[in-house]
Each structure stands twice: as structure tokens, then as C-alpha cells.
Homo-oligomer: A and B are copies of this chain.
Amino acid sequence: MLASASVSYSPCGPSALTVQPMAVLRPRPVFFHASDTEIYAQGEKSGSLYRIEYGAVRIYRLLTDGRRQVVAFHMQGETFGFEAYGFRSFYAEAIVPTGLTPVEAEGSEPHRSDLMALALRSMIRAQEHLLVVGRQSALEKLAVFLLDLDHQQGDDGIIDLPMTRTDIGDYLGMTIETVSRSMSKLREKGIVRLKNTRCIEILRRDKLQAISE
């Protein structure tokens, strides 16, 4: 499916709809994915990389009993879809209505070295995520998560959460209830304010950073 113009849900903005100019400016076709639809599945033959024009994507893996680990969230402007063995090692799904443009893995020498840099940053990010998931408490994890997300969105202290609490829990290695309780704790301490469940304002960045270590 192709979209010549696009729309994104932003629970933080004054309006619910924002037109994204990227789609019309790019020469490449933009493929549209509705919320909670699969972009690729674990085990599939590897395809191309994707650049996110608008929207958000979750990358995850499942255990046989249904336990899920979200290994990454990708937002507007990011490129994802690296694979190592000729097949997809993870699932990718759109979290909200999302527009994607395929990126060829082949190309000129500078293009390839860009890809190498991207792959390396993905690796470092995964390894840093390990530290959070493996060695931090629930409150610390959530603090790190909120600061990361705020940073991705321009460090303005207004965080738009496109993902559910379940997604956050599966990303941080904790249950939805613990995510919720930790969020309430940050609210009760006056560190954040919830404009609504999907939009959070950081009131005391210093305290949030102190908690995150």
C-alpha cells in the first residue's frame, strides 16, 4: 500500500493529527503499515532494511510459552532491519500507523560504510540495553527509558509514548503492573506529570537522572 501523504498520532501535541512532509518529498514509495501489523516475521528470508518516514516500530522475539522480549523501539528517521544469517531473527511490527521506505543494502562504498556505522550503533545500543535490563531496578529502568525516549524526541521534556505498557514491560524485562506502579511512583514524587497515559511531561529532570544512575 502506498501513501502520498501521511498522518501521525501525537497524544502530546495540541492537535491529534500532524501532516508529515517526508512522504511527499522523498522520491521513493512509502509503504504504509497500520497499527499492530507485521512488517516481517522471525524465520523469514531476509529482505531489505527500512527507514521510518513516520510512525514507530517494535522489534521483538518470543519464547515458546509466549513470553516476549522487545529488543528495540525505532522511531521516525531511524533505519532498522539488520540481519546476520540470511533470515530474520526477530519480528517487526508497526506500533502506530507507520510509513516505511526500503533501503538497499548494496550501493556505493560510502553508502556501505554508513550501513556499517548503523549496524555498530545498533550493536552498542543492544549491549547498553543489557545493562539496564540485567542490573537495574524497576524504577531505575523506567527512568532510563523515559530519558532515552525524551532524548530521541528532542529533549524537550514532553514524551510521546506510542507503545503500550505491555510493550514497555517487555522492553524493560518487567510486568505491565510493575511498569504502572513505577510510573505512579515517579508521579507521586513530582518527577513526572501524566497529561494522559500516552503523554508524559518531565518535571524534574535532575531527579530522574539521579534515579537512572
Give A contacts to B, CB under 8 Å: 59, 61, 63-65, 67-69, 71-72, 82-85, 89-90, 112, 115-117, 119-124, 126-131, 133-136, 170, 172-173, 213
- Check if B173 sits within 8 Å of A89, measured CB to CB: no
Q: How far is B190's CA from A60's CA once the two chains are assembled, in angstroms? A: 34
Q: How many copies does the complex hold?
A: 2
Q: Which of B71, B112, B170, B213 contacts A127 (CB 8 A)?
A: B71
- Check if A117 sits within 8 Å of B84, measured CB to CB: yes
- Check if A61 sits within 8 Å of B127, measured CB to CB: yes
- Check if A120 sits within 8 Å of B67, measured CB to CB: no
- Check if B173 sits within 8 Å of A133, measured CB to CB: yes
Instruction: List the B residue with the shortest CB-CB distance to A61.
Output: B131
Instruction: List the B residue with the shortest CB-CB distance to A82.
Output: B120
- Check if B133 sits within 8 Å of A84, measured CB to CB: no
Q: How far is B64's CA from A136's CA once the two chains are assembled, in angstroms? A: 12
Q: Which residues of B contact A72 (CB under 8 A)?
A: 127
Given contacts A116-B115, A213-B64, whether A173 and B135 have CB atoms under 8 Å apart is yes
Given contacts A83-B124, A121-B84, whether A71 and B130 have CB atoms under 8 Å apart is yes
Instruction: List the B residue with the shortest CB-CB distance to A65.
Output: B213
- Check if B124 sits within 8 Å of A69, measured CB to CB: no
Q: How far is B128's CA from A63's CA once the two chains are assembled, in angstroms? A: 11
Q: How far is B117's CA from A115's CA once the two chains are assembled, in angstroms? A: 12
Given contacts A65-B213, A67-B135, A112-B112, whether A84 and B173 have CB atoms under 8 Å apart is no
- Check if A134 sits within 8 Å of B133, measured CB to CB: yes
- Check if B84 sits within 8 Å of A127, measured CB to CB: no
> Closest Cβ of chain B: how far from A61's Cβ, in Å?
5
Q: Which residues of B contact A84 (CB under 8 A)?
A: 117, 120-121, 123-124
Q: Can you name 20 A-B residue pairings with CB atoms under 8 Å?
A: A63-B135, A63-B136, A65-B213, A67-B135, A67-B136, A71-B130, A71-B131, A82-B120, A83-B120, A84-B117, A84-B120, A85-B121, A90-B127, A112-B112, A116-B119, A122-B123, A123-B126, A130-B133, A134-B172, A135-B173
